[in-house]
Amino acid sequence: MSGPLVLVLNAGSSSLKCGLFEAAPDGGPRLLAGGQVEGLGGAARLALADAGGRALAARSRPAGAAVDHREALATLFALLPGLLGGRPVAIIGHRVVHGGVRFAAPVAVDEAVLAELEALVPLAPLHQPHNLAGIRAARALFPGIPQLACFDTAFHRTQPEEAERFALPERFFALGIRRYGFHGLSYAWIARRLQAEDPALAAGRVVVAHLGNGASLCALQGGVSQGSSMGFTALDGVPMGTRCGQLDPGVVLYMLDQLGMSSAEVARVLYHESGLKGLSGISHDVREIEAAGGPAAERALGHFAYRVRREIGALAAALGGLDGLVFTGGIGEHAAGVRARICAGLEFLGVRLDPAANAAHAPEIGAPDAPVRVLLRRAGEEEMIALHALEWLAGKGDGAILPGGRSAAP
């Protein structure tokens, strides 16, 4: 007998992913069909496939079409009846990037929750509006079906206070100005996979590098977040496709006071014109930068690798050492050259790559005799959302309580 059907929507800054899952005999999620729309804002491409990789649908639009998230959602929803095969959807799980101070666990969405999440849009302007648009569209298409918001920030609420705070007066912390961390759904899935595959490594000190158009790193101790490269917003940390990453706040003040830029102009530069795109002058896409070559490409890739390498060192220091390094995300999983750049110079930590395994994108790419294991794992944000949804259905649980029973309230 088939288990309940879960629809998952994951709206990123430049992509929209979806998945249809059902409960496997072990209670975990089993993928039935999935796909994504890539290149939103430019030459958009949609591809849907079943769990075996058989193509179910494909669409493409030229760069001048500038397909946005709303059109992508409409296209996906138009294809849903054919994917469902007459089966009812039991629950819809959504990735929501920012849960703020209050939401530290998945929560069923109603109008009051939507209003609270809307208030967090300024903290994640590239993502939160699209996350909420997906929720609203799904509520309209599937009235009466539970909509579960699953938060990227929730996983990091276990960070120690010294990792969570900025060196600002206490009143700002009370207002929720703190380091939240992001990509938590990806890190939660990696932590679960490591626990299932290698409990000894999972119990140790692991840095996970989620590298894609959005990029961050997380320090795990025993599968629990101890720190992240991202902070109050998804601008912080390492450079990304179009985002600057860590930046001296004095630069922002200078832009405002001395260059006469408006806050909107500054935001556009930091969110949309910086990162790999700004450094290379070529593209936000590592594949296109590598193909172009030349000094500008070298500058962009070299800086990106340097910043990621530096963050790995910082997080290893926070953990007191390193037992494992995991690469995930689009760049982390597929860009062997970038991985090699990042790991070059980390020998002092015990990181050494096996060049052949790295070139082949093997599940384990570290040298067999190296003290630190280096792994590749597929990002599983949709699977993690589906698992949250199945667990919610099983227990009808809801709320925002941190591990150990600590309240999420400030």
| 236 is an active site residue | no
CA 185 to chain centre: 7
CA dist 149 and 96 (Å) reads: 6
Per the structure block, which two tokens stand in for 82?
A: 């054919």
Q: Which of 50, 110, 152, 285 is catalytic?
A: 152
- Residues 364 and 373: beta-carbon distance below 8 Å: yes
Give first-to-last CA distance, the chain, whole Å: 45
366 has which bridge partners?
A: 353
CA dist 113 and 103 (Å) reads: 10
CA dist 7 and 9 (Å) reads: 7
Residues 6+ apart with CB under 8 A from 79: 48, 56, 57
Residues carrying an active site annotation: 152
